[in-house]
Structure 1
Amino acid sequence: MTILTKRFTDALDYARVAHAAQVRKGSSIPYLYHLLGVASLVIEFGGDEDQAIAGLLHDVIEDCGEPHRALVRAQFGDAVADIVEDCTDGSAESKASHTDIEAKRRDWMRRKLDYLAHLAKAPDATLLVSGCDKLHNARAILNDLENPEVGTRVFERFTGGREGTLGYYQSLSEVFSKRGARMVVQLEATVARMHALAGATSRISLTE
Structure 2
Amino acid sequence: MNNNLVMDAMRLAERAHRLKNQFRKAPKGEDRPSYFLHLVEVAWMLQQAGLADEVVAAGYLHDMLEDCGYTRDQLAEEVGNKQVADLVQWVSEPGKDRSWEERNAVYLERMRDASSDVRSLSCADKTSNLRDMGRLLDRGYKLDDFLNRGLERQLAKFNGLDELYKENVADSIYSRFTTAFERLKE
Do they superpose with TM above 0.5?
A: yes
In structure 2, give the amino acid aligned to 1:11. A
Query: Alpha carbon RMSD of aligned pairs, Å?
Result: 1.6
Normalising by the residue count of structure 1, what TM-score does the alignment of the two structures yield? 0.79
Give 3-state SS (helix, strand or coil) of 1:135's partner. helix
Tell me the residue number matched to 1:132. 124
Alignment pair present for 1:71 and 2:74: yes
Gaps of 5+ in 2: none
Deviation at 1:4, TM superposition (A): 3.8
Aligned length: 177
CA distance in 2, matches of 1:11, 1:186: 24
Mark the runs of 5 or more structure 1 residues left unpaired by the alignment: 98-105, 197-208
TM-score by length of 2: 0.88
Give 1:199's aligned residue: none
Give 3-state SS (helix, strand or coil) of 2:99's partner. helix
- Work out the CA distance in 2 between the residues paired with 1:9 and 1:42: 14
Of the candidates 4, 9, 12, which is equivalent to residue 10 of structure 2? 12
* CA displacement at 1:25 relative to structure 2: 0.6
Q: Deviations over 1:113-146 (max 9, x none)?
A: 1111111110122111111111111111111112
What pairs up with 1:125-164 in 2 under 5 angstroms?
125-148=117-140, 150=141, 152=142, 154-164=143-153
- Map 1:1-208 to 2 at 5 A: 3-20=1-18, 21-26=21-26, 27-65=31-69, 67-76=70-79, 77-90=81-94, 94-95=95-96, 97=97, 107-148=99-140, 150=141, 152=142, 154-177=143-166, 179-182=167-170, 183-196=173-186
Which of 1 and 2 has higher RCO (CA within 8 Å, sep 6+)? 2
Counterpart secondary structure, 1:19: helix
Identity of aligned residues (%): 27
Alpha-carbon separation, structure 2, partners of 1:53 and 1:160? 30
The residue type equivalent to 1:49 in the other structure is D
Q: Matched residues in 2 for 1:33 and 1:70: separation?
A: 25
Q: Which amino acid aligns with 1:181?
A: V
CA deviations 1:69-127 (Å, max 9, x no partner) are 2221113311101100001013xxx32x4xxxxxxxx7101111111111111012211
